[in-house]
Each structure stands twice: as structure tokens, then as C-alpha cells.
Structure 1
Amino acid sequence: RQYVMNHVYKKLSASNGNEQQEAPRKETPAVDMNESQALAILGLKAGASADDIVRAHRSLMQKLHPDRGGNDYLASQLNAAKELLLKNHA
């Protein structure tokens, strides 16, 4: 989707003579989440290793990625859970 939107934006910009402008980047909304919620989202138990966190995130992302039929909200929740757990794990 993003590729298509960038392509369309560049075509529109070229017709307006603004070829040097880039498409605005979409900001990821902030997600309020605690550690227990993050563990539940990834299907993990307390004390999970960094490898377990990454493995669970990758497995779920393969199923719920927007390019594979999921949506942006689910992907952002998975990413936020992974980031929170890895930050707290270190």
C-alpha cells in the first residue's frame, strides 16, 4: 500500500511541478501497554527469554502482517509488545 501511495503522490507532484517533495511519513501511534499485556499479546509467560520474544513476534507477524491479510492495528500491537518486552528484558 505504501509503495502505491508513494507512487501516486510522486505522479501527482510531477504534474504540479513539485517533483522534489516527498510523501509525508505515517507516524506510528503511541501504544500504552504494560508487561503483562505485552506477554498476553505475544502468548508468552513471565520470564520469557529474548529469543522466545523474538520467535513469538515473528510467528505472529507472519500471520497478522497487513500484507498477509492482517491490519495495521494488530501489527502495531505486536511491535509494541515486542519492543516493551525486549526493553524490559535488557
Structure 2
Amino acid sequence: MATALLVGFGIAATAFFGRAGIVAFRRYRGGTNAIGKAFYKGGFEQKMTRREAALILETTERGLTREIIRKKHRQLMLLNHPDRGGSPYLATKVNEAKELLEKTS
């Protein structure tokens, strides 16, 4: 009886510390701090910056071309357009991001 209890406790401890080790390793490598995707955990800024516009369009700030900006804009607008059930506010932000990046590219 005691052996079964110790084995069960050992398995539970291994699972717990194994998961903690994975999370710590991913943090060390610069990845997510939990298992899964990393998400931007902030809201919108008062005045949109180039960094925020790139985050909205899911691109990097470097190496942007008009073609990439238009492609990303189109993808996001197909998902977020108000006529298709999307949010008017998010559609506005996507359009604003496209305009800002095209103006500064």
C-alpha cells in the first residue's frame, strides 16, 4: 500500500516538475512562457506607432514591402470586416495600420 502511494506521488511530482522545466527552458530560449502560442498582452496606444502597426498586421518592422502590407491587410480584413460579422473598431485599426506602414515605407 505504501509502495503504491509512493509510486503515485513520484509520478505526480515528475509530471509537475517536468512541465515546470519545459516552461523554464522556453523562457530561457526566449519563447513563450507557457505551452502554446505567445500573444501580445497589451492594448492599443493613443497614437499608433510603426511597431504597433506591424503587430496589428502580424509582420515585422524590417523588410516590409507594399506587397506584404497589402497581403496582410487583405487577410485581416477578410476576417474582421464588419459586413462579415467583424468588429468595426478592429477593421478601423487594421486600416489605420496599413495606411501608417504604407506612408512610412
TM-score (norm. length: structure 2): 0.54
> For structure 1, which runs of at least 5 residues remain unmatched after alignment?
1-30
Superposition deviation, residue 77 in structure 1: 0.2
Larger Rg: 2
Pairing partner for 2:54 from 14, 31, 39: 39
Which has the higher relative contact order, 1 or 2, with Cα contacts under 8 A spaced 6 or more apart? 1
Q: Show structure 1 runs of 4+ deviating over 2 A.
A: none
Superposition deviation, residue 41 in structure 1: 0.1
Q: Read off the aligned partner of 2:71 and give its amino acid letter.
A: R
User: Cα deviation per residue 1:6-56 (whole Å; 9 max; x = unaligned)?
Assistant: xxxxxxxxxxxxxxxxxxxxxxxxx72000000000000122111000000
The alignment of Structure 1 onto Structure 2 pairs a total of residues equal to 59
Residue 69 (structure 1) aligns with: 85
Paired with 2:64 and 2:53, the residues of 1 have a C-alpha distance of 11
Paired with 1:39 and 1:69, the residues of 2 have a C-alpha distance of 24
Report the identity percentage. 44
Counterpart secondary structure, 1:45: coil
Paired with 2:102 and 2:47, the residues of 1 have a C-alpha distance of 16
TM-score (norm. length: structure 1): 0.63
Residue 3 (structure 1) aligns with: none
RMSD, matched Cα: 1.0
1:1-90 aligned within 5 A: 32-46=47-61, 47-89=63-105
Q: Read off the aligned partner of 1:50 and give its amino acid letter.
A: R
